[in-house]
Amino acid sequence: MNISFYKKIRSKIIVNTREFIFNLSNKLPFLGRPLATGWYILRDLRFVIKKEILKLATRLKYPADKLDFDKTYGIHPNKIQYCLDSKFDIWKNYGRILGGDWDQSLINFEDLDIYQAFKQRFKEGKMWKETEFYHRVIGQISNGIKKWDCKDKEDFDFRLEQIDSLYYQIKDSGYKSQQDIYLSEGWLARRGKIGEILDEIAVVIDRNGQFLLVEGRHRLSIAKLLNIPRVPIRIIARHKKWMDFRKELIFFSKNYQKGKLYQPLTHPDLQDIPFQRDGEERFKMIKENLTIRKGILLDIGANLGYFCHKFEEEGFDCYALEENRMCLYFLEKLKRAENRKFKIVPETLFEYKKNQELVFDVVLALSIFHHFLDREATYLNLVQFLKRLKTKELIFEPYLPEEFRNRKVYKTYMPERFVDFIIENSCCLNNAKLIGKSEKGRPIYKITI
> Where do the domains of the chain lie?
3-61, 72-243, 277-448
pLDDT at 20: 62
pLDDT at 144: 84
pLDDT at 146: 80
Highest mean pLDDT among 50-64, 86-100, 122-136, 257-271: 122-136
The pTM of the full predicted model, rounded to 2 decimals, is 0.83
Pairing state of beta strands 443-448 and 431-437? antiparallel
Label residue 101 exposed, middle or buried (CB < 10 Å: 0-12, 13-18, 19+).
Answer: exposed
Alpha helices (runs of H) in 75-211, residue ranges in sequence order:
90-93, 113-122, 132-142, 153-173, 178-183, 187-190, 194-197
pLDDT at 85: 83
- Report residue 33's pLDDT band, with 50, 70 and 90 as the boundaries: low
Q: What is the mean pLDDT of the chain?
A: 87
- Report residue 447's pLDDT band, with 50, 70 and 90 as the boundaries: very high
What are 206-228's pLDDT values in tens digits? 999 999 999 999 999 999 999 99
Label residue 317 exposed, middle or buried (CB < 10 Å: 0-12, 13-18, 19+).
Answer: middle
Compute the average pLDDT of residues 363-390: 96
pLDDT at 1: 45
pLDDT at 159: 93
Compute the average pLDDT of residues 284-308: 97
- Report residue 69's pLDDT band, with 50, 70 and 90 as the boundaries: confident
For the ranges 186-200, 366-380, 409-423, the lowest mean pLDDT is seen at: 186-200
3-class DSSP state for residue 373? helix
pLDDT at 58: 64
List the one residue out of 410, 415, 412, 407 whose CA is nearest residue 440.
415
Strands (E), 264-388: 296-300, 317-321, 343-345, 358-366
* CATH code assigned to 277-448: 3.40.50.150
Compute the average pLDDT of residues 329-353: 96
Q: Is the pLDDT of residue 192 over 50?
A: no
pLDDT at 188: 40
Compute the average pLDDT of residues 293-314: 97
- % residues pLDDT > 70 (the chain): 81
Compute the average pLDDT of residues 156-164: 93
